[in-house]
Structure 1
Amino acid sequence: MSGMRVALTGGIGSGKSTVAEQFARLGAPVIDADVISHRLTAANGAAMPAIVAAFGAAARNVEGALDRAWMRARVFGDSAARRQLEAILHPLIRAEMLARSNQAEGPYSLLVIPLLFETGQQALVDRVLVVDVPESQQIARVRARDGLSDDAIGAVLASQVDRARRLQGADDVIDNSGAPEQLAARVAELDQRYRQYSQGADAL
């Protein structure tokens, strides 16, 4: 492994992408599970043959990529179908994340894994960093960003571990409910800490 692995996670609307961008600006290699997932399900993506075999040709759009709207409707409320999709995607995503982190240059790499606790991937990393905001703020942000109904947002929240469980599993927490300058200062502080940890300056 090249350096230490830090998992970045948090609920929907917590600001994971914003935090990851700030770490990237400080030179941390950022490996995003969602970015990998999109590539795996693009036209000719490695996951598409298995998805089509499992769900049929309707799962593929005219370009040959995953029809995301169709798949969301297919797995919404159908836990068996969702597990079937996850069984295809998660091993491929995990393998690519680990391969990239092994090749990453620098004292540590940041693995953005939204469903870290839900998929039990904590053992893959050395530290867990949780981006935290109150649930009311999550709902407001997602409503403004994605235009989802409160029922749809509630369904997403229900599919994720609750805030207390997430905080319980954290080694480090970023409170992202405040001003942007507070967030930048906290990211810079953690970046320095992780660089020290990777050199054995402190016990993990």
Structure 2
Amino acid sequence: MTFILGLTGGIGSGKSAASQWFEAQNIVVVDADIVAREVVEVGQPALVQIRHIFGDWVILENGALNRSALREHIFKDPSARQTLEQITHPAIRTAIIEQLAAAQSPYVILVSPLLFETNQHELTDHTLLIDATEELQIQRASSRDGQSVEQIQKIIQVQMPREQKIQHANDVVLNDGHLEHLYAQLRPLHLKYLAQAEIH
């Protein structure tokens, strides 16, 4: 079994920049966010279940999931969020396991913003947290996504507190400078993971 690294970080922390750097080193990256979108595509069993439980209003005319309507609905109703997660989380987990098993690289990375919150860290051998202050997270995410500060703060509140993430992670990289500063911290870790993968 290939050595699996779990990579996480809050919104605007720079985990995407980190995962792209690892991809440039020819390391296969399985992105939980992409998998989460794939499992609710047209024709997927999870989408059929969502329609059956929530009703036709969650489906667009072209048969695809009406993400914005559903997102708004679960923000207002926490029990609806739980119902949705009971459908999607098992499907996401199964797809992630399949993609990790199929990966062909010295080690493989599972990138997930909710690595610890959804217990996806259980699928990994080692975890790396890309960390940033809340001020930096808000600044980066608002300039990148054009989201309001309130929306970003809501997302941060849903995620595990920063201090807790730091306690859970095996390795922590503080991304508080330029990208080159981030990459300089990732290089020695990459070498460490290559060595760990060899003896795994």
TM (norm. structure 1) is: 0.93
Aligned-residue CA RMSD in angstroms? 1.4
Aligned counterparts of 1:154 and 1:77: Cα–Cα separation in 2: 16
Distance 1:108 1:155, change over 3 A: same
Query: How many residues get paired?
Result: 200
Higher helix proportion (structure 1 or 2): 2
Match of 1:188 in 2: 187
Match of 1:151 in 2: 150
TM (norm. structure 2) is: 0.95
The residue type paired with residue 63 of structure 1 is N
Aligned counterparts of 1:195 and 1:9: Cα–Cα separation in 2: 19
Match of 1:74 in 2: 73
* Unmatched 5+ stretches in structure 1: none
Indicate whether 1:27 and 2:26 are aligned.
yes
Match of 1:126 in 2: 125
Per-residue deviation, residues 97-155 of structure 1 (Å, max 9, x unmatched) = 11111111122100011111111222211011111010000011111122222222221
The residue type paired with residue 41 of structure 1 is V
Residues 27-66 of structure 1 correspond to what in structure 2 (within 5 A)? 27-66=26-65
User: Where does structure 1 differ by over 3 angstroms across 4 or more consecutive aligned residues?
Assistant: none
Residue 165 of structure 1, CA deviation: 0.4
SS at match of 1:27: coil
Match of 2:176 in 1: 177
SS at match of 1:47: helix
Match of 1:113 in 2: 112
Aligned counterparts of 1:106 and 1:151: Cα–Cα separation in 2: 40
Identity of aligned residues (%): 37
Report if the CA contact (8 A) 1:45-1:65 is conserved: no
SS at match of 2:115: coil
Aligned counterparts of 2:10 and 2:71: Cα–Cα separation in 1: 18
